[in-house]
């Protein structure tokens, strides 16, 4: 077994191989960076070393700087814990080395890994290696010279695209762009790299310091024009992401003042952005997502996941066809069942349309379409269920129908088969009431469209076996979802936490606040669209069905608005028929529809809750808070009842399931940055003015009074048994 660290081996040819190993992804942790400094110094000192090859062990170069250090900076507020290596290691030790250094890259070279490789005098790569600078996704910018070297190696337009979109490229494209000097088979990688390094030493190949290159930059006016265009695009597409503008500013400094000045500027601003609220939120979101894979008494008890080769999906509607698509895209065979030939054909066509749509968007190769679709078979009965490993029921939210299906599949499927339901609101114990296999029953709640949205909410009852949970988590990861395990209750974690979101928006409208202003305020906060545009897009049927279940379950704190029913009565059904709160026309963005305003006035007349019959006066910030503080309040109840394993799971679920802005870290993380006491005081004030909808929960009151963050773990309250 290889040991972590950095090694140096000198061959008879005079080439020193400096190799580092830090599994699983060869992260550039501080001990690795220290080891590299030490081994490079030794190689330079030794007279028997003519040239140097730098490589990573274990089939990977490096996935970049160890971001655990970012978390340490955020926890301590001390940016000095960041290693200062952009000049000392990458410029002084590597780029200005008196002996040529060649990077031998395979697997991946991302972030700091690629930046170190760009500091070398040549880069040789194996086919299929991933190359990229994804730092902006963590709220920072490349910090080891990437903002300066990448434009000089691949040209400014492509460098801006790679950095601002955090979009990796493959080594094959890297070769065409000039980022990679040669592409060779993995088994030849070290041999070719050694020879290349010797050829540089013997002046048979150029000795290139990429920081000094200018041939791909173009004229100053062209460069500035490109950067200004990128700035404008970033303001539109990433208005809440300051690191995009900082990155472009830093690139510009290097172009105007020279590469070394650019590196100095990069070093200076990196320490500012790493301490920013944006970075804190994005890094928290990253670690929260990683933590979801650890579930007590499931992933830590020595169980091994069983291989799920074949899955039956019952129901070929929007959700069922999306689930089937996600499965076949990951080479899992699917049997899709419907009640009649017409519905079955429609479901199969939907799956095919989903797959072909991915080709159109460039997310699937055309030559993989037939193989993918060959994994799908349609059936009208249960005869094809005798060898399935899992069934996912995805029919309408009807308790009798689901109970009937579960009693039928229990008989039709093998004894090991996992029995999953995609219900978004119905108690799993009720779904499986008429079966004797309750240890195999589990919730597999996908979010629409199921082949696109990344969250999979896995719902367990008190009887669901740990093996079934582990198997479904594994399938979730195979189909590129992020599984979050939650307890069984009305609405589970995500829909339950966010049911006050749309209700709060409707409450504000009925208090006289403009519907389009609400949407603008929520969009400015960072969600992709406001609650009313979302309702138009999702469809009113979904809103009404889920709303009724949740309103019944939590009647003590629900607000009922007649607005959606009034819209339906007036022939509006959102995007489905092109008119709702917005007008939807093919090829253009949704436009606010002024003709909806009389319907809204009718709703206000019926609810009659405006104080003194006059609209309330609120700021945009108050709009955001009056909609999202009740969401935080419900999140507190979810935490108190032990519905989720940890608070950060709710953060991940809010970001991936409800599009809560990742740069704010997630719903609980954001609430802690605002402060429980402020949220409690606001809710208390509004509850006196506008009723029980805003009544603070016991958990929030306790945390606010004692000054404890919401995210700090606690035992479930004595009055509520943990759902996990």
| 20 membership: H or E segment, kind and range | strand 15-21
Taking the C-alpha atoms of 582, 588, 589 and 590 in order, what is their torsion angle to the nearest 10 degrees? 0
| 377 membership: H or E segment, kind and range | strand 376-379
What are the structure tokens assigned to 629, written together?
A: 């503080």
How far is CA 201 from each of CA 49, 52, 121, 209, 210, rounded to the nearest angstrom? 11, 10, 11, 14, 17
Give the residue numbers marked as catalytic. 115, 135
| Pair 354, 316: CB distance under 8 Å | no
Is 633 buried (19+), middle (13-18) or exposed (0-12) by CB count in 10 A?
buried
Q: What is the DSSP string of 516-584?
A: HHHHHHHHHHT-SS-HHHHHHHH-HHHHHHHHHHHHHHTGGG----SHHHHHHHTT--BTTTTBSSEE-
Taking the C-alpha atoms of 550, 551, 554 and 559 in order, what is their torsion angle to the nearest 10 degrees? 130
First-to-last C-alpha distance (Å) of the chain: 38
Spatial CA neighbour of 679 closest among 639, 632, 715: 632
Residue 677: asked if its preceding bond is cis (omega within 30°), the reply is no
Q: In this structure, are strands 455-460 and 182-183 parallel, antiparallel, or unpaired?
A: unpaired
Residue with token string 């773990």: 713
CA 100 to chain centre: 40
Please tell me the distance from the alpha carbon of residue 455 to that of residue 444, in angstroms, as a whole number: 10
Strand-pair partners of 122? 102
Spatial CA neighbour of 237 closest among 521, 535, 523: 523
Question: Hey, how many other C-beta atoms are within 10 angstroms of the C-beta on 208?
Answer: 17
Please tell me the distance from the alpha carbon of residue 9 to that of residue 17, in angstroms, as a whole number: 5
Contacts of 616 (CB under 8 A, 6+ apart): 511, 512, 513, 610
Sign of the alpha-carbon torsion through 110, 113, 116, 118? negative
How far is CA 722 from each of CA 160, 637, 719, rounded to the nearest angstrom? 49, 11, 10
Residue with token string 């740069």: 663
Write phi, then psi, for 62 (nearest 5 degrees): -165, 140
Please tell me the distance from the alpha carbon of residue 385 to that of residue 460, in angstroms, as a whole number: 23
Please tell me the distance from the alpha carbon of residue 111 to that of residue 115, in angstroms, as a whole number: 6
| Pair 167, 161: CB distance under 8 Å | yes
Taking every pair of C-alpha atoms in the chain, what is the biggest distance, in angstroms?
A: 92
What are the structure tokens assigned to 331, written together?
A: 């080479």
Rg of the chain on CA atoms, in Å = 28
């Amino acid at each position: 077994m290889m040991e972590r660290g950095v090694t140096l081996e000198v061959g008879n040819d005079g080439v020193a191989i400096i190799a580092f190993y830090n599994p699983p992804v060869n992260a550039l942790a501080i001990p690795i960076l220290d080891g590299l400094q030490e081994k490079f110094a030794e190689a330079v000192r030794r007279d028997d070393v003519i040239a140097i090859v730098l490589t990573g062990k274990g089939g990977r170069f490096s996935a970049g700087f160890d971001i655990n250090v970012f978390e340490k900076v955020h926890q301590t507020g001390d940016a000095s814990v960041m290693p200062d290596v952009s000049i000392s290691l990458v410029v002084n030790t590597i780029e200005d080395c008196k002996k040529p250094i060649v990077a031998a890259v395979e697997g991946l070279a991302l972030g700091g890994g690629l930046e170190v490789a760009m500091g070398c005098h040549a880069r040789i790569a194996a086919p299929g290696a991933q190359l990229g600078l994804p730092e902006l996704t963590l709220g920072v910018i490349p910090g080891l010279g990437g903002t300066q070297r990448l434009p000089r190696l691949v040209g400014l337009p492509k460098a801006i695209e790679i950095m601002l979109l955090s979009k990796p490229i493959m080594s094959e494209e890297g070769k065409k762009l000039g980022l990679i000097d040669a592409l060779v088979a993995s088994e030849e990688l070290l041999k070719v790299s050694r020879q290349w390094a010797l050829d540089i030493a013997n002046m048979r190949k150029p000795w290139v310091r990429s920081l000094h290159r200018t041939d791909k930059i173009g004229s100053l006016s062209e460069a500035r024009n490109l950067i200004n265009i990128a700035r404008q695009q970033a303001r539109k597409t990433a208005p809440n992401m300051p690191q995009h503008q900082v990155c472009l500013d830093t690139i510009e400094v290097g172009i105007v003042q020279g590469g070394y000045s650019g590196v100095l500027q990069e070093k200076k601003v990196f320490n500012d952005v790493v301490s920013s609220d944006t970075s804190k939120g994005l890094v928290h979101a990253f670690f929260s997502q990683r933590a979801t894979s650890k579930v007590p008494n499931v992933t830590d008890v020595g169980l091994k996941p069983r291989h799920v080769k074949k899955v039956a999906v019952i129901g070929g509607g929007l959700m069922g066809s999306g689930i089937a698509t996600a499965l076949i895209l990951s080479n899992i065979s699917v049997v899709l069942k419907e009640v009649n030939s017409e519905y079955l054909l429609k479901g199969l066509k939907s799956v095919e349309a989903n797959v072909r749509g991915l080709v159109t968007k460039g997310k699937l190769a055309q030559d993989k379409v037939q193989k993918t679709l060959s994994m799908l078979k349609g059936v009208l009965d249960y005869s094809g269920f005798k060898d399935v490993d899992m069934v996912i029921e995805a029919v309408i939210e009807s308790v009798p129908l689901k109970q009937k299906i579960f009693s039928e599949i229990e008989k039709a499927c093998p004894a090991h088969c996992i029995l999953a339901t995609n219900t978004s609101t119905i108690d799993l114990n009720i779904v499986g009431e008429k079966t004797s296999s309750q240890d195999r029953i589990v919730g597999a709640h996908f979010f629409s469209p199921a082949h696109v949205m990344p969250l999979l909410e896995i719902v367990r009852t008190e009887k669901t076996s740990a093996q079934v949970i582990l198997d479904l988590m594994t399938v979730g990861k195979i189909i590129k979802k992020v599984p979050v395990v939650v307890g069984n209750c009305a609405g589970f974690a995500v829909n339950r936490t966010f049911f006050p979101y749309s209700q709060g928006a409707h409450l504000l409208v009925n208090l006289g606040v403009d519907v389009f202003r609400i949407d603008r305020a929520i969009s400015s906060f960072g969600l992709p669209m406001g609650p009313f545009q979302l309702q138009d897009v999702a469809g009113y049927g979904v809103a009404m069905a889920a709303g009724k279940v949740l309103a019944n379950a939590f009647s003590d704190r629900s607000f009922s608005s007649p607005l959606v029913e009034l819209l339906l009565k007036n022939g509006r059904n959102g995007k489905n028929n092109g008119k709702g709160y917005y007008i939807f026309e093919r090829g253009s963005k949704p436009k606010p529809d002024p003709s909806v305003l009389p319907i809204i006035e009718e709703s206000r007349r019926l609810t009659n809750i405006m104080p003194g019959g006059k609209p309330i006066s609120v700021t945009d910030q108050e709009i955001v808070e009056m909609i999202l503080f009740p969401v935080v309040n419900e999140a507190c109840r979810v935490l108190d009842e032990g519905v989720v394993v940890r608070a950060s799971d709710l953060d991940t679920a809010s970001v991936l399931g409800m599009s809560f802005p990742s740069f704010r870290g997630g719903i609980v993380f954001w609430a802690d940055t605002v402060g429980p006491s402020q949220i409690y005081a606001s809710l208390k004030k509004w509850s006196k003015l506008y009723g029980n909808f805003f009544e603070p929960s016991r958990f929030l009151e306790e945390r606010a009074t004692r000054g404890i963050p919401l995210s700090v773990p606690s035992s479930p309250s004595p009055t509520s048994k943990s759902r996990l």
